[in-house]
Structure 1
Amino acid sequence: MTVTDPTATATTTGNPPPDVIRSGYAELIVTDLAASRWFYVDLLGLIVTAEDDDAIYLRAFEEYLHHSLVLRRGDMPALGRLAYRVRGQDQVDAAERYFRGIGVDTRRVPAGATRGIGEAVRITDPLGFPVEFFYDAEHTERFTQRYDLHHGNAITRLDHFNVMVPDVKAAHRYYTGLGFGVSETIIDDEDNVYAAWLYRKQTVHDVALTGGDGPRLHHIAFATAERHQILHTCDVLGALHKEHHIERGPGRHGVSNAFYLYLRDPDGHRIEIYTTDYYTGDPDNPTVEWSVDDDRRRSFWGHAVVPSWYTDGSRVHDLDGRVVPLSAPAVREAERTGVIVGADGFAIATEGDQKIPFKLGEQV
């Protein structure tokens, strides 16, 4: 997939990008609402703001907007939409001008097109993802101090999205053109970019860019206040004999320094539970550059990563609900023995000159 640099087009059209505040919400297409409700409400403890026969609207304990996650019934699992909140309703107008100016599919949607969300703009971004920009949203009760309702693994807020793209460097240009800062990257000595973490709020990221067949959603991440809340989720899954929902972790990332746990929901969508990253709010916040050869980037403790974490992702719908075709990276194999590029680049074992193939679920 070739992505043009939208910053050059924006300069010629004179339309500045919208002022994005943060990642706002995601919509996942799920095949069984009851099973999904068990996972997100009974297990993870998200709060139900509203629900009907076709959708469930969820938020975390510190959130006061109507929702940060929508589960919508469908025939096959997919990403329905990512959404960013902008600084004011005038910035919804700015988003419409900007994206029309760079020639992407742009649609104005009325208030209530998504329950609880005001008038918004939806686009198919240059990377192939369905994205909404909104400001107005219905307010609801913030449960920060409703400790009587908190589970032992209480989730505080939506933190970030991670998307899989064939050309990370081009996607990096697109997001920096939107005004996103860059906290960390994974690179090699030939200026190849394997992954990047970009932010608008004052944390490590609102979106991460991961190499691979795309467009696909790698994961949605929710934050907790403390590590023990993540460990409690693992204990609950073990007690219920549902430990198969744990894909990776718990552990600590090198990139972002975050303590993490990756789960797969009943439809296979990947959810990260995440805590203890760092502040990025100063204007001269430095970008941390990790070598693709430094295995600590994935796990600061040196743990192996299951191949599914690199290979699996959720397919993506376009603005009309159709599955978006995939494009593959132009280069899959690095110029070094035994290294195959996937996500942030990963090494697999070799026998002489023979690369050992891996199967889903096996340890690298």
Structure 2
Amino acid sequence: MEKFVVLPEIAKLGHVALVSENLEKSLWFFRDVLGLEETEEVDGVHYLRAWGDFEHHTLSVRAGETSYIDHIGWRTKRREDVATFAKILEDAGTEVRWIKAGEERGQGEAIRFELPSGHRFELYYDMEKTPADPERKSVLKNQTYKAWRKGVSPRRIDHINLQTSVNNLEVVNFLREKLGFKLREYFVNKNNEQVASWLSVTPLVHDVAIMTTDRSKKPNEMHHLAYWLDNAQDLLRAADILNEAEIEFVGPGKHGISQAMYVYVKDPGSGLRIEIFTNGYLIFEPDWEPIKWTYEEYLKYGSTYWGDRRRDDVDREAQIRELIQSR
């Protein structure tokens, strides 16, 4: 009888581990302005999550001399997938480091490795689903915390956008061939070279985006981390809250790629850009063909479908460059 091989799979984006050069400002922003809930603080690491996140944390923040992303965590679909991914990666020549259970609070055994761009990924399966304390607990059994308790109050983590100076296809092919990501949409430059890609392991348009640009000072930068709001009205409310906190932001607007509405804002402590994100579309087709955006199409509709428009006499190409850089 023919033996079937079960390929390992990534289930979803889990968390981002942030190091901040100004921890006090970062905690003020994430806890009070953005409205994330703090699960706990252990050995100087603050673990946070949105009111609809179930795992122990979707963001961790600790102090450092400079600000950077330590790693990005992804949960696998099965416990055994962690070891299977480790073998696939090692066979391909990628260095893999095993993380003992408990080394990261709430998390079981995991592996860490780097993409060709140098971004550090972590794969795990076991993670505590820590209940909220009684004062913050929702009356809904299918929800962790009370909604709208403070700040912008996003429901859940949504996606990451990684910025790099490395060839876009090199990173994209690694994600597809070694980790099972599916390419959903992509953008080419004037020379028809792929320079931005949106990929996912879920029905979302993207769990991760890869943007190649000569503006990258390092090959492993993060362009933004996104948290999800339920609807457009929540996004407008978020803009009011940010303005009341006297924090500058970009938006509201709507992307052509992903069709989602957005506001971009930077954590004043670390400089990490956060996208407050809603709407968009889901992909359920098993035979989905990646959508190509040409340079001209991207300038006209891809990045900004509407919102953030400048005067008609401003050169559109220069405007897009300005907007992307500000984001």
TM-score class normalised by the smaller sequence: 0.7 to 0.9
Deviation at 1:145, TM superposition (A): 7.2
Tell me, what secondary structure is at the counterpart of 1:164?
Answer: strand
Which residue is equivalent to 2:247?
Answer: 243
Q: 186-195 vs 203-212, which deviates more?
A: 186-195
1:116 aligns with 2:106: yes
Residues 24-173 of structure 1 correspond to what in structure 2 (within 5 A)? Answer: 24-52=14-42, 54-141=44-131, 143=138, 144=143, 146-147=145-146, 150-151=149-150, 153-165=152-164, 166-173=166-173
Report how many aligned residue pairs link the two structures.
300
CA distance in 2, matches of 1:359, 1:199: 25
Go from structure 1 to structure 2 and tell me whether the alpha carbon gap of 1:43 and 1:95 turns closer, same or farther (over 3 Å shift). same
Query: Do the aligned partners of residues 21 and 44 (structure 1) sit closer, same or farther apart at CA in structure 2, a change above 3 Å counting?
Result: same
1:281 equivalent to 2:295? Answer no
Shift in Å, 1:146 = 4.7
Deviation of the 1:194 alpha carbon: 1.7
Q: Which moved more, 1:156-165 or 1:254-263?
A: 156-165
Cα offset, 1:234, TM superposition: 1.6
1:300 equivalent to 2:305? Answer yes
Per the alignment, residue 199 of structure 1 pairs with 200
CA distance in 2, matches of 1:51, 1:302: 39
Q: Once the two structures are superposed, what CA deviation does each residue of 1:204-242 show, in whole Å capped at 9, x if it has no partner?
A: 1111010123221111111111122222222122223x1
Query: 1:187 deviation in Å?
Result: 2.0
Q: Give the whole-Å Cα distance in 2 for the aligned partners of 1:207 and 1:194.
A: 14
Deviation at 1:113, TM superposition (A): 1.1
Paired residue type of 1:49: T
Change (3 A) 1:269 1:362: closer
Shift of residue 17, structure 1, vs aligned partner: 6.5
Tell me how far 1:181 sits from its aligned partner. Answer: 1.1
Tell me which moved more, 62-71 or 173-182: 173-182
In the TM superposition, residue 52 of structure 1 has moved relative to its aligned partner by 4.0
Instruction: Give structure 1 stretches of 5+ with no counterpart.
Output: 1-14, 306-338, 340-345, 350-356
Residue 228 of structure 1 is matched in structure 2 by 233
Structure 1 residue aligned with 2:293: 290
User: Unaligned stretches of 5+ in structure 2?
Assistant: 133-137
How do residues 334-345 of structure 1 correspond to structure 2 at under 5 angstroms?
none
The answer (yes or no) to whether the contact 2:32–2:151 under 8 Å persists in 1 is no
Q: Secondary structure at the match of 1:94?
A: helix
2:212 match: 211
Task: Measure the CA separation in 2 of the matches of 1:255 and 1:229.
Answer: 21
| Structure 2: distance between partners of 1:34 and 1:145 | 26
Is 1:348 matched up with 2:313? Answer: no
Tell me, yes or no, if the aligned pair for 1:16 and 1:98 is still in contact at 8 Å. Answer: no
Tell me which amino acid in the other structure corresponds to 2:291.
V
Residue in structure 2 matched with residue 175 of structure 1 by the alignment: 175
In the TM superposition, 1:316-335 aligns within 5 A as none
Query: What's the % identity of the aligned pairs?
Result: 29
Shift of residue 125, structure 1, vs aligned partner = 2.3
List per-residue Cα deviations over 1:229-287 (Å, max 9, x = no partner).
222222122223x132x1x2110001100000111001211111111111112211232
CA gap of 1:304–1:209, structure 2 versus 1, over 3 A, is farther
After TM superposition, give the deviation of residue 152 of structure 1 in Å.
6.4
Deviations 1:104-125 (A, max 9, x none): 2211111111111110011122
SS of aligned partner of 2:293: strand
* Separation of aligned partners in 2, 1:32 and 1:147: 29
For 1:218 and 1:362, locate their aligned partners in 2 and report how far apart those are by CA, in whole Å: 10
Q: Structure 1 pair 148/132, CA: closer, same or farther in 2 (3 Å)? A: closer
Deviations 1:139-194 (A, max 9, x none): 12375375465346321111111111221122121111121111111125754112
Q: Deviations over 1:273-306 (max 9, x none)?
A: 111111112211232221111221111016359x
The offset of 1:126, in angstroms, is: 2.2
Query: 50-59 vs 20-29, which deviates more?
Result: 50-59
Letter in 1 for 2:90: R
